[in-house]
Amino acid sequence: MVRFKNRFLLFELIWKDGRIDESLIEANIQAVLRDSIALNFGDYGLGVCLASQQVKYYNPLTNLCIVRCGRDQYKEVLASMTTITTFRYRTVMMHLVHNGGTLASCQRAAIEHNRAILQHMRLTQGQQKLATEAEERLQAMEI
């Protein structure tokens, strides 16, 4: 029996208006991604992708997101992500940062990317707290 293999896509959401919406959570991303897969690949494509697809992590501050999907379907998932242009009436672009075979490798890439971003952001105190929390959550993510 061959092990079921996944792909982990780490991507960055680039918002046109640059606003930080702290109410966004993983489930929202999952919903918009699901709609896009349905639009582009139909019911069959969606069904196949959904078998293993899951949004593992999203951080509204740094806009990083990790999505897991089956290795056989990652092209479809990635293509659906590419074609997303709006999200909650805001223009957005999803930019793939890392495409890894394990969550650990994505996590490493995410931590590195996070650091680079946060270094140059000016944060309010509340945001600072959020950032720390997000960082911790990322570090603590089970692999």
Partner 1 sequence: MAVRLGYDCVATSHTATGRLLDKDRCTQRSLEAVTLAAAGPEVTEALRLQQGLIRDGGAAPRQLLQVSRLTVAMEEAAAAAQLLGGPHPITASYDLLAVQPLSERVFQQACTTLVVDVITFDMARRLPFRLRPGPLQAAVKRGLHLELCYSAALRDETSRRNFFSNASALVRAARGHGIIVSSGARAAFELRGAYDVMNLVTLCGLTEQQAKAAMSERCRQVARHAEIRKAHKGAVTVIKEPAEGGGEEASDRSAPSQTKGPAPAAALKSVREQAQQAQPMNIDRQQSSKRTGKRRKR
Nearer to partner 1, 25 or 85 (CB): 85
Task: Kindly tell me which of 25 and 79 has the beta carbon lying closer to partner 1.
Answer: 79
- Beta partners for 114? none
Q: Is 21 helix (H, G, I), strand (E, B) or coil?
A: coil
Residue 62 near residue 134 (C-beta atoms within 8 A): yes
Q: Rounded to whole angstroms, how far apart are CA atoms 43 and 28?
A: 20
* 127 makes contact with partner 1 (CB under 8 A): no
Which of 124, 17, 102, 8 shows the shortest CA–CA distance to 63? 17
Shortest distance, position 93 Cβ to partner 1, whole Å: 6
Q: How far is residue 11's CA from residue 68's CA, in Å, rounded to a whole number? A: 11
x/- letters, 68..107, toward partner 1 (CB under 8 A):
-------xx-xx-xxx-x-----xxxxxxxxxxx---x--
**What does the per-residue mask of binding to partner 1 show for 35-74, with x meaning CB under 8 A?**
----xx----------------------------------
